[in-house]
């Protein structure tokens, strides 16, 4: 009997976390205010930006350490950064909040720094 109760509580917690993830884009137990579509899009673009810069850094490290040709990896990362930049520019037009615009500008500035490096 106790196992069934525990299993029911665990399933309820998992369902609550799943619902919160779908509604807010965050993995939390306690729901927060739902994120707007623009905020969710920004979060996805930020995650893609982090992944692309990581891929670029890994390509640079591999080229420096082993001397392997990693230009294809670097080019793929730069193409992803180009796509992210384009989508951020589109999102910036849709976004009204100055706080969100400053976050977008920060990532756009970081992309420019990476390109000039």
Residue boundaries of the structural domains of the chain: 1-34, 36-116
Check if the beta carbon of residue 73 is closer than 8 Å to that of residue 55. yes
Tokens at residue 61, please?
């490290």
What is the per-residue pLDDT across 2-58, written as a single tens digit (0 to 9) for each?
A: 787 887 778 888 887 777 777 666 666 666 666 677 888 888 999 999 999 999 888
Check if the beta carbon of residue 32 is closer than 8 Å to that of residue 24. yes
Query: In terms of pTM, does the model score above 0.85?
Result: no
Check if the beta carbon of residue 103 is closer than 8 Å to that of residue 38. no
Nearest one of 90, 44, 16 to 35, comparing CA atoms: 44
Spell out the alpha helix ranges (H) of the chain.
2-24, 37-66, 71-94, 98-116
């Amino acid at each position: 009997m106790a196992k069934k109760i525990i299993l029911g509580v665990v399933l309820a917690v998992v369902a609550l976390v799943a619902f919160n993830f779908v509604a807010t884009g965050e993995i939390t137990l306690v729901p927060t205010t739902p994120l707007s579509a623009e905020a969710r899009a920004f979060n996805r673009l930020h995650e893609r930006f982090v992944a692309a810069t990581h891929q670029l850094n890994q390509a640079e490290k591999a080229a420096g350490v082993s001397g392997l040709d990693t230009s294809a990896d670097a080019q793929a990362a730069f193409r992803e950064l180009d796509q992210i930049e384009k989508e951020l520019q589109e999102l910036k037009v849709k976004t009204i909040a100055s706080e969100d615009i400053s976050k977008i500008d920060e990532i756009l500035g970081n992309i420019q720094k990476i390109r000039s490096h």
